[in-house]
């Protein structure tokens, strides 16, 4: 679990609170790859994700005193990464697109078994194609497990808007998966 077995996570946190650069680096190395995984889901590409990661970790070290030890530290850092990612979009994409995308009248039914054949990179690519607003909501709800109320607060939208964006996001994703699977079957067959 620990990158360097000399320190426990509590010791690392304590060292970081004292502003010890070495401890900060160790804590970063402990969590960086996981947190970049989080940011990747919110970003359109890896560069953007690393920017989000950087901003997030700076925030982690600055706000470390706010961590009261309620829940896991990793969960706390993860939440900061999510916030950092959304903030990044606010700054760099100004208006988060909440443009209605014409979804197909019929929802595509996706075969869960077939969909599970899709690799991580495929799923990541599909999510990356989502309009930013949809992507945020879907990530937060489906993967982070936030409630619509929480999402609404973080994104500055209503609970209902969060719900509708989620369902639209699902619709787009299913469509994309259906297309992918179709292609796969085509290529196989």
Partner 1 sequence: MKASDKDFDQLFNSKLGDMEVEPSANVWNNIANELDGKKEKGGLPFMKIAAGIVLLMAVGLFFIRPEHQIIALHPAFKATGDSQGSRVIAPIQPSVDYTESPVIAETKPSVKHRQSGTTVSHAESVVAKSIDTAQSESRYIAAVNQKADNQTIDQVHTIQAQSTGLVPDNIGRTAITKSTNVLTTKNANPVIASLNATKPEPTKKHKIHSLGDLLNVVIAKVDKREDKLIEFTNTSDDDSFNVTGVNLGLLKAKKDK
Residues that bind partner 1 (CB under 8 A): 21, 24-25, 28-29, 32-34, 36-38, 40-41, 46, 49-50, 53-54, 57-58, 61-62, 109-110, 112, 115-116, 118-120, 123-124, 127, 138, 141-143, 145, 170, 173-174
Cβ proximity of 51 and 88 under 8 Å: yes
Would you say 34 or 149 has its CB closer to partner 1? Answer: 34
Give the burial string for 85-124 (b: 16+ CB within 10 Å, else e).
bbebbeeeeeebebeeeebeeeebebeeeebeebeeebbe
As measured in angstroms, the least distance from the Cβ of 188 to partner 1 is 21
Cβ within 8 Å of residue 130, ≥6 positions away: 138, 169, 172, 173
Q: Is the dihedral of CA 146, 151, 152, 154 positive or negative?
A: positive
Q: Which residue number, 15 or 37, has a Cβ lying nearer to partner 1?
A: 37
Q: How far is the CB of 171 from partner 1 (least distance, A)?
A: 10
Q: CB of residue 95 vs partner 1: minimum separation in angstroms?
A: 25
Work out how close the CB of 38 gets to partner 1 at its nearest, in angstroms, rounded to a whole number. Answer: 8
Give whichever of 64 and 154 is closer to partner 1, judged by the CB atom.
64
């Amino acid at each position: 679990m620990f990158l360097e077995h000399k320190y426990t996570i509590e010791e690392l946190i304590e060292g970081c609170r004292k502003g010890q650069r070495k401890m900060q680096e160790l804590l970063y190395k402990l969590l960086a790859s996981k947190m970049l995984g989080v940011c990747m889901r919110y970003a359109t590409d890896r560069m953007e994700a690393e920017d989000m990661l950087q901003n997030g970790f700076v925030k982690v070290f600055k706000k470390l005193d706010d961590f009261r030890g309620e829940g896991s530290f990793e969960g706390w850092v993860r939440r900061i990464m999510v916030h950092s990612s959304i903030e990044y979009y606010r700054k760099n994409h100004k208006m988060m697109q909440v443009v209605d995308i014409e979804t197909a009248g019929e929802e595509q039914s996706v075969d869960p078994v077939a969909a599970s054949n899709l690799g991580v990179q495929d799923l990541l690519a599909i999510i990356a194609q989502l309009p930013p607003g949809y992507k945020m909501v879907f990530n937060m709800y489906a993967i982070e497990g936030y409630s619509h109320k929480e999402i609404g607060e973080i994104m500055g939208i209503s609970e209902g808007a969060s719900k509708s964006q989620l369902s639209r996001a699902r619709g787009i994703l299913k469509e994309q998966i259906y297309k992918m699977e179709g292609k796969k079957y085509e290529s196989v067959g």
